[in-house]
Amino acid sequence: MVAPGKSEQQIGVAHFSAISLEPSDFAKVAAGAGFSRIGLRLNPAFPGAPYYELPVGGHAAEELKAVLRGEALEVFDIEFFVIDPSFNASSLEPILAAAANIGAKRLSVCGDDPEQSRLQSNFTEFCGLASGYGLAVDIENMGWRTIRTFADSVNLVKSSGASNAGALVDGVHFFRNGGTLTLLRAEIDRVKHVQLCDVAGPAPSTAEAMIAEARGKRLAPGEGELPLGELVAIAGAASVSVEVPLSGSADAEEHLKRLFEGAVRIFKPGQ
């Protein structure tokens, strides 16, 4: 039985799509748009980036859990952890506890440490720590970081040997940095989470331009040039969400509705 207003396809939405909304408000708006899952940002993706704290036992966490129950919504993933030279897995344990407390399933990380052995060690340690909370860890490639390509992500997952490690496929980062559908087919067992977004025009060639595109020039699914239909066809059992930041003075409710409708059309062209 599908809840009223929801799609038969379970589709999530990343907090970055409307990061100005606090978790409980974001959950309500996401549910109203038709989404079944949400991601939340409980750790800053970069210095100065917005995020929210939901300490175990705190009012905000309890309020959110009540909203989730009322809206028949679940938390899927928690963002965002940067594994750089200063990364300290144990310092993040309160966030992992907070993630488990609200029912999250996975954590999203990126790798940005040029010393490969330390990067692998820290990633593996983080996977071990997350496992103790019933959480899995997905590594997302980004063109301006050490783990630049999808192949880099897969290699790190394999070398970690962690059973709860996966590679996250984000539409922009995947296709803009050499990812191919053939490669995705070959490694789909490593992929547990796919994030839909679209983009148009030539790929940026500098780190600054890549960052600008990823954070401010994404399009709703189906509004650009990426082969998202083929992507979701290959994705199989991987969970699918949408990540397209709200820009300008656009209304958050309308924005999330547009994202949901775009995602549904990717699954059911012509609908």
Is a pLDDT exceeding 70 seen at residue 202? yes
Instruction: Supply the mean pLDDT for the chain.
Output: 94
Instruction: Quickly state the pLDDT bin for 164 (edges 50, 70, 90).
Output: very high
Q: Please tell me the total count of domains within the chain.
A: 1
More confident residue, 237 or 67: 67
Q: What is the CATH number for 249?
A: 3.20.20.150
Q: 12-21, 38-47, 74-83: lowest mean pLDDT where?
A: 38-47
Instruction: Quickly state the pLDDT bin for 45 (edges 50, 70, 90).
Output: confident
Residue 197: inside a domain, yes or no? yes
Instruction: Quickly state the pLDDT bin for 270 (edges 50, 70, 90).
Output: low
Residue 70: inside a domain, yes or no? yes
Residue 1: inside a domain, yes or no? no
- The pLDDT assigned to 168 comes to 98
Structure tokens at 143: 């063109």
What would the pLDDT profile of 117-135 be if each residue is shown by its tens digit?
999 999 999 999 999 999 9
Residue 68: inside a domain, yes or no? yes
- The pLDDT assigned to 9 comes to 74
Range 178-206 average pLDDT = 96
Is a pLDDT exceeding 70 seen at residue 240? yes
- The pLDDT assigned to 3 comes to 47
Residue 132 domain boundaries? 11-267
Interacting residues of 178 by C-beta distance below 8 A, sequence separation 6+ = 149, 150, 151
Residue 178: inside a domain, yes or no? yes
More confident residue, 45 or 100: 100
Residue 6: inside a domain, yes or no? no
Residue 158's nearest CA partner among 199, 133, 123, 185 is 123
Q: 43-47, 140-144, 152-156: lowest mean pLDDT where?
A: 43-47
Residue 83: inside a domain, yes or no? yes
Residue 206: inside a domain, yes or no? yes
Instruction: Quickly state the pLDDT bin for 247 (edges 50, 70, 90).
Output: confident
- The pLDDT assigned to 183 comes to 97
- The pLDDT assigned to 4 comes to 45
What's the pTM value of the predicted model, to 2 decimals? 0.93
Is a pLDDT exceeding 60 seen at residue 207? yes
Is a pLDDT exceeding 80 seen at residue 5? no
What would the pLDDT profile of 254-268 be if each residue is shown by its tens digit?
999 999 999 999 998
Is a pLDDT exceeding 50 seen at residue 153? yes
What would the pLDDT profile of 209-230 be if each residue is shown by its tens digit?
999 999 999 999 999 999 999 9
- The pLDDT assigned to 2 comes to 43
